[in-house]
Amino acid sequence: MPRIDLIETTLLDIPTIRGHVLSMTTMTAQSVVLVRVRFDDGSEGIGEGTSIGGLSYGGESAESIKLAIDHYIGPALMGHDGNDINGAIGIIERTVRGNPIARCAVEIALWDGLGRRLGVPVAQLFGGAVRPAMPVAWTLASGNSTTDIAEAEAMIEARRHNIFKLKIGKRDLKSDIAHVGAICAAVGDRASIRVDVNQAWDLATARRGVAMLEEIGVELAEQPVRAEFLRDLKALTDTSRLSIMADEVLQGPIDAMRVAANRSADVFAVKIGQSGGLRRGSEVIAIGQAAGLGLYGGTMLEAGVSTAAALQLFSTVETLHWGTELFGPLLLKDEILAEPIRYADFCVHLPQGPGIGVALDPDKVRFYRRDRGATLAPTGS
């Protein structure tokens, strides 16, 4: 049996193509934690942990992800059977509380290593892919209506995206509605428009905002209220004709059960990092399916490694009612994969090959690493 004999992390800082405006911060770069797990039979696997906007968004930052892996998760897994991923998940969850992105990053590398050893894609380990490509949204988040309209028009013309999510909540409600309305009017019925409020509204504002969004043609509103206020999310879901999507409230299957139990949302935004890994992400999906909720493949604005891993999981889901937003690599100014994930015909395409189906570009990793010292060796494709 292949034993784990090395878990190595490397921190990268990659600029974004433009400022990405959220309700709590504006991102001009993305910090990515790459993970390499080596096994004593010579095989390897790669993983990634990435958060949105650091600690302004949630409880993890790139620095905390690296620390949790280097000082807690990594030492706990040394010598463990690399084929026993369920056992490894148990060890990780007993070793650290919370830290779902850190746990996910290591788990991705374990699945990647197993898939490579078996010569099969990770999707096969979750029952097999039922789709080679998935609809993919693009987030319009410059904060400027003219810029966002031009960006949307270019995406539609290139047949790259015809689903657009707008980040709102940073400005006053009237300004946000005017901004969204301008984009809805510009694209008309050529695209689906959704909004993500990132928990910025209280219930009273959310009720007014959701009603106004419905009037201008928006189809879905993501996490309008704070994650801890589940009653407010349910109140909004119960009274709105606009579909309400749970995001930040979903920190794994236990939260998914809470949301599904009294239908506090219409849709689950499932994120493998936020769920704590592919295994727990698959459980969130199963709960959503059992409750009859819509499903959406969410992103933490990850680079190519975690995006590829998410695609492996979501390719096995029979019905993705709302598509995906796995566009993270496209937001970055540069690509760290040897062969980029393909985006075409309004879809993101499942990488082919064993494991998660991608390999790193070692030169790009060297260039963007925060510490320019030791080099993360590449893994084979």
Residue 143 has a pLDDT of 83
4-21: strand order across its sheet: 4-21, 26-39, 44-50
Angle at which helix 145-157 crosses helix 173-187, to 10 degrees, equals 30
Mean pLDDT of the chain: 94
- Position 373 confidence tier, pLDDT thresholds 50, 70, 90: low
Structure tokens of 264? 């506090």
DSSP 8-state assignment for residue 179? H
**β-bridge pairing 343-344 and 347-349:** antiparallel
Backbone angle region of 299, left / alpha / beta, with phi > 0 → left and psi within -120 to 50 → alpha: beta
Residue 78 has a pLDDT of 98
Could you tell me if 87 and 110 are in contact, meaning their C-beta atoms sit under 8 angstroms apart?
no
Residue 378 has a pLDDT of 45
Q: Tens digits of per-residue pLDDT, 22-32?
A: 666 678 899 99
Residue 374 has a pLDDT of 46
Spatial CA neighbour of 7 closest among 40, 31, 30, 50: 40
Q: Tens digits of per-residue pLDDT, 106-124?
A: 999 999 999 999 999 999 9
Structure tokens of 241? 């004709």
Say how far apart CA 45 and CA 242 lie, in whole Å.
Answer: 42
Q: What angle do CA 211, 212, 218 make, to 5 degrees?
A: 90
Q: Where are the domains of the chain?
A: 4-119+359-368, 124-349
Residue 8: is its pLDDT beyond 50? yes
Handedness of CA 323, 325, 326, 330 (dihedral sign): positive
Say how far apart CA 235 and CA 231 lie, in whole Å.
Answer: 6
Q: Which residues are catalytic?
A: 167, 325
Residue 275: is its pLDDT beyond 70? yes
133-135: strand order across its sheet: 133-135, 347-349, 343-344
Q: Tens digits of per-residue pLDDT, 157-196?
A: 999 999 999 999 989 999 999 999 999 999 999 999 999 9
**Which residues, other chains included, contact 68 with Cβ-Cβ below 8 Å and sequence gap of 6+?**
96, 99, 102
Residue 319: is its pLDDT beyond 50? yes
Say how far apart CA 220 and CA 293 lie, in whole Å.
Answer: 13
**Continuous segment of H or E residues that includes residue 162:** none
Residue 381: is its pLDDT beyond 90? no
Q: Tens digits of per-residue pLDDT, 202-216?
A: 999 999 999 999 999
> Environment class of residue 17 by beta-carbon count within 10 Å: exposed (0-12), middle (13-18) or buried (19+)?
exposed
**Which residues, other chains included, contact 166 with Cβ-Cβ below 8 Å and sequence gap of 6+?**
139, 140, 141, 148, 179, 180, 183, 193, 194, 195, 196
- Percent of the chain having pLDDT more than 90? 90
Residue 380 has a pLDDT of 42
243-246: strand order across its sheet: 138-140, 163-167, 192-196, 220-222, 243-246, 267-270, 294-297
Query: In the CATH scheme, what is the homologous superfamily, with its name and number, of domain 124-349?
Result: Enolase-like C-terminal domain (3.20.20.120)
According to the CATH classification, is domain 4-119+359-368 in 3.40.50.10490? no
Structure tokens of 29? 């770069």
What is the reported pTM?
0.94
